[in-house]
Structure 1
Amino acid sequence: MTRQQEASTPHVARGGPAHAVTRAVQHPARLRPAAPARPETARPDVAAAPAEQAAPPRRLLVLDGLRLAAALLVVAHHLVRGPWGVEPGSLFGPLAAVASFGWLGVNLFFLISGFVICLSSWGRGLGEFAVSRAVRLFPAYWVGVVLTTAVLAAWPALRGPLPAPESLVNLTMLQSGLGVTDQDWSYWSLGAELRFYLLFAIVVWLGVTCRRVVYFCTVWTLVAAFSTTWDQRWIDNMIVPEFAPYFVAGVALFLIHRFGANLLLWGLVGVNWLIALYRLQGYPALAHFHLDWWSVAAVVTGCFALLAAIALGAFQRVSWRWLTVAGALTYPLYLIHQAIGQTLILALRDRVPHWLLLAGIVALMLGVAWLVHRYVERPLGGRLKRSLTTSLAAVRRG
């Protein structure tokens, strides 16, 4: 969608405000108070500088816990407000009201995704980036598609599986681009993630530096904002303008985490926060769940504030080992929870007390998610990584 190379930076008059912004992009450290130079921040504008190609920063365990919290919000939204046959509020009371906001867990996912992808891509080439994304996404996803298809076929209480051609093409994760229905409705968000990876791959191809990432964020913000008036559906399809503010803000917050805060980076976060709040008014969920804009905007603002606190180091000392397990459960849980969980609700809601059934389904989903991680993602992911790396090496030699 957006590629801005350093060579295309327009000339501006020296000393003026525009020149100051350009210098801020090229030297983010100049907007911070003077401090002893650190190796990774001394010259963030130099392409492929050794400091910028160093190993990525260490993993932030608090993000693993936050990802699981986001997944559980989505699970609550789909299961608490699932097909119980009566108004969920009469069964679950205040929990049903909280679950009405659970769809915002996906927005939080996108915010975290921008942060994590920028972190994990630092110092990697395009091939390594592509391999890491494939290994991360596909093993668990294939299991999710197969399990969901099997449950819908064997127990079509909710609906039957898609026709065979559509079920098979779901294995590619490209079904949204082909106009094919997702086997599990939650998979729609994976299409948005894939487009984000595709766009960020442009930066990885050029070489990830602070300056290039800032250019990327700036251009994506502007194109996503103006695309509304261009009436070009293919552009909207590529740049996901509805969710671009979350991805861009997450990337900018990672830059704050790695290089320190400055006015330019906070400006990117702030502008995208405001755009995100504006776009909330068009969400069908507000009318469907009788939510007012102010309450939804407050939740989104809280998500931005929480990730900003993480970027500023507020949770650096959090090192609980169970958070690694929490992060490992997140993706498989998301992939299997909706269609299978709602099928179980329809089949068992008249036989099992509602609280017990809800707790049992969530526990079952968490258990299956752990099994998928332990016996599919870990062994298959390692083999897939080795095979893809070998294949890339062969392609380069050719």
Structure 2
Amino acid sequence: MTGLALTRGAQPLPPLTALPHPAAGPARPGRERSRRLYAVDGIRLLAALMVALHHYAGTRRVNQPHNLIWDRPVSDIMPTVFHVATYGWIGVEIFFVISGFVICMSCWGRTPRQFFVSRVIRLYPAYWFAVLFTTAVLAAAPGVWERLRLRDVLLNLTMLQSGSGVQNVDGVYWTLWSELRFYLLFLAVVATGLTYRKVVVFCCAWGAAAMLAPVSKWPLLELIANPEGAWYFIAGLALYLMHRFGQDVLLWGILAMSWLMAQKELGTRIDEVEHVSSWRGAVLIFTAFLLLMVSVALGHTDRIRWRWLATAGSLTYPLYLMHYAAGTAVISRLRDEMDPRLLVAAVLTGFLLLSWAVHRWVERPLAGAVKRGLEGAFGRVRGVGQGARG
């Protein structure tokens, strides 16, 4: 989910009441969509590799005696790799922050229809392939993961299985449910036209709902507010506003609140899910990432224009979708045939190559076809509506 950046100006931020609707033109003189944020592409790929390494060599699951992936604890097989990989799960939180940043950037000045089409063509082509690919690999290499019934695999193709109480084909798909809820909430702001003030109000309102949801005991509020992920997305939104309009006390306040709430969520995830990493280490890594994103937002990384990073960024989504269940199934079959460090490196390299192939021969052709189909359908709907009014 990469996009084009906006060049930075040097004039002071206008008051909230003076901020223009996006249709009125750029936020400040000299600001235009002319640069890609290559640094963000690189960070996204690094986050995906962190998550993959964590799943292969740093989870509690792979560190249990007689586990089905390695047959013995990874901390015994490759202790140094294990201690590094235990923190790789933070890559998911990094994804959420980047998603807030990139979605806000790519939606500025777009209509709800454009927003909807852009999300469909970005999310579904690679996802459809990943569901079918993972199902095929698990059928060919059984024993590590439970195979789903055909009806559940087919429902997974909708990406709505979590809302239907159906198990994911691959466990990493749980993050897509958080992403979809974020898109649905943000669509309401996109529909009114994005401005600095509207996004700030959205951040504050969503943050308040996320704080109230756990104590309210209202399942619907918890579902919509997504308290486990909300503050990461809010941090990304604030960072993009900082990038587009410049820094101010209000944005720094939202970012600080996001950090404070995030450190609590990091601790909760360690206590309830991860167990193998420390709170201090997790907070240190997350803080370093946020500071790096602040540098991106303030334009300090604008000189990074390595075009290969754009390709690296395009591999991130397919890699994330395919690496876990299929990758661990492959490791379980080859663990006695290769050095474990070499095996992890080989599997990661293989999935990077496969991700490039999926991007080149699946995502791009399908995205174009789906986009043309959706735009044609919307055009017919508009034509029918105009004819009915006539």
Shared topology, TM-score over 0.5? Answer: yes
Moved more, 147-156 or 165-174: 147-156
Q: 2:270, 2:279 within 8 Å by CA — same for their partners in 1? A: no
* 1:95 counterpart letter in structure 2: V
From 84, 88, 107, the equivalent of 2:93 is 107
Residue 320 (1) aligns with residue 297 (2): no
Instruction: Map residues 377-388 of structure 1 onto 2, 5 A cutoff.
Output: 377-388=363-374
* 1:203 counterpart letter in structure 2: V
* Superposed CA offset, 1:27-61 (max 9, x none): xxxxxxx964799x994254743336997563201
Report the Cα distance in structure 2 between the residues aligned to 1:292 and 1:37, rounded to whole angstroms. 41
Q: 2:27, 2:244 within 8 Å by CA — same for their partners in 1? A: no
**Is there any run of 5+ residues in structure 2 with no aligned partner, and where?**
1-8, 63-68, 385-390
Q: What residue is the counterpart of 1:214 in the other structure? A: 200
From 107, 115, 128, the equivalent of 2:114 is 128
Structure 1 pair 194–77 and aligned structure 2 pair: CA distance change class (3 A): same
Q: What residue is the counterpart of 1:20 in the other structure? A: none
Residue 68 (1) aligns with residue 54 (2): no
Q: What residue is the counterpart of 2:191 in the other structure? A: 205
Instruction: Map residues 114-193 of structure 1 onto 2, 5 A cutoff.
Output: 114-193=100-179
Residue 298 (1) aligns with residue 279 (2): no
Q: What residue is the counterpart of 1:31 in the other structure? A: none
Report the Cα distance in structure 1 between the residues aligned to 2:274 and 2:234, rounded to whole angstroms. 28
* 1:299 counterpart letter in structure 2: I
Report the Cα distance in structure 2 between the residues aligned to 1:270 and 1:37, rounded to whole angstroms. 22
Deviation at 1:387, TM superposition (A): 1.2
Report the Cα distance in structure 2 between the residues aligned to 1:272 and 1:36, rounded to whole angstroms. 27
* Superposed CA offset, 1:159-193 (max 9, x none): 24200111100000001111111100011101101
**Is there any run of 5+ residues in structure 1 with no aligned partner, and where?**
1-33
Deviation at 1:290, TM superposition (A): 3.7
Report the Cα distance in structure 1 between the residues aligned to 2:318 and 2:258, rounded to whole angstroms. 29
Report the Cα distance in structure 1 between the residues aligned to 2:272 and 2:145, rounded to whole angstroms. 26
Q: What residue is the counterpart of 1:242 in the other structure? A: 228
How many residue pairs get aligned? The number is 364
Q: CA RMSD in A?
A: 2.2
Q: 2:39, 2:309 within 8 Å by CA — same for their partners in 1? A: yes
Structure 1 pair 198–318 and aligned structure 2 pair: CA distance change class (3 A): same
* 2:48 counterpart letter in structure 1: A
Matched residue of 1:172: which SS?
coil
Report the Cα distance in structure 1 between the residues aligned to 2:107 and 2:123, rounded to whole angstroms. 15
Deviation at 1:239, TM superposition (A): 1.8
* Superposed CA offset, 1:222-260 (max 9, x none): 111111211111111122111111100100010000100
Deviation at 1:297, TM superposition (A): 1.4
Q: 1:286, 1:292 within 8 Å by CA — same for their partners in 2? A: no
Q: 1:74, 1:105 within 8 Å by CA — same for their partners in 2? A: yes
Report the Cα distance in structure 1 between the residues aligned to 2:271 and 2:51, rounded to whole angstroms. 13
TM-score (norm 2): 0.89
Report the Cα distance in structure 2 between the residues aligned to 1:272 and 1:222, rounded to whole angstroms. 12
Residue 49 (1) aligns with residue 24 (2): yes
* 1:346 counterpart letter in structure 2: S
Structure 1 pair 55–169 and aligned structure 2 pair: CA distance change class (3 A): farther
Q: What residue is the counterpart of 1:22 in the other structure? A: none
Report the Cα distance in structure 2 between the residues aligned to 1:114 and 1:151, rounded to whole angstroms. 32
Structure 1 pair 230–334 and aligned structure 2 pair: CA distance change class (3 A): same
Q: What residue is the counterpart of 1:79 in the other structure? A: 56
Structure 1 pair 356–206 and aligned structure 2 pair: CA distance change class (3 A): same
Q: What residue is the counterpart of 1:7 in the other structure? A: none
* Superposed CA offset, 1:134-172 (max 9, x none): 000000000000000111112213124200111100000
* 1:204 counterpart letter in structure 2: V
Report the Cα distance in structure 2 between the residues aligned to 1:67 and 1:288, rounded to whole angstroms. 21
Report the Cα distance in structure 2 between the residues aligned to 1:48 and 1:321, rounded to whole angstroms. 31
Deviation at 1:325, TM superposition (A): 0.8
Q: 1:111, 1:247 within 8 Å by CA — same for their partners in 2? A: yes
Residue 341 (1) aligns with residue 327 (2): yes
Matched residue of 1:58: which SS?
strand
Moved more, 86-95 or 66-75: 86-95
Report the Cα distance in structure 2 between the residues aligned to 1:35 and 1:184, rounded to whole angstroms. 46
* 1:69 counterpart letter in structure 2: L
Report the Cα distance in structure 1 between the residues aligned to 2:134 and 2:226, rounded to whole angstroms. 27
Matched residue of 2:268: which SS?
coil
Report the Cα distance in structure 1 between the residues aligned to 2:72 and 2:167, rounded to whole angstroms. 28
Task: Give the share of equivalent positions with the same residue, in percent.
Answer: 44
Matched residue of 1:352: which SS?
coil
Report the Cα distance in structure 2 between the residues aligned to 1:356 and 1:297, rounded to whole angstroms. 30
Matched residue of 2:157: which SS?
helix
Report the Cα distance in structure 2 between the residues aligned to 1:171 and 1:73, rounded to whole angstroms. 26
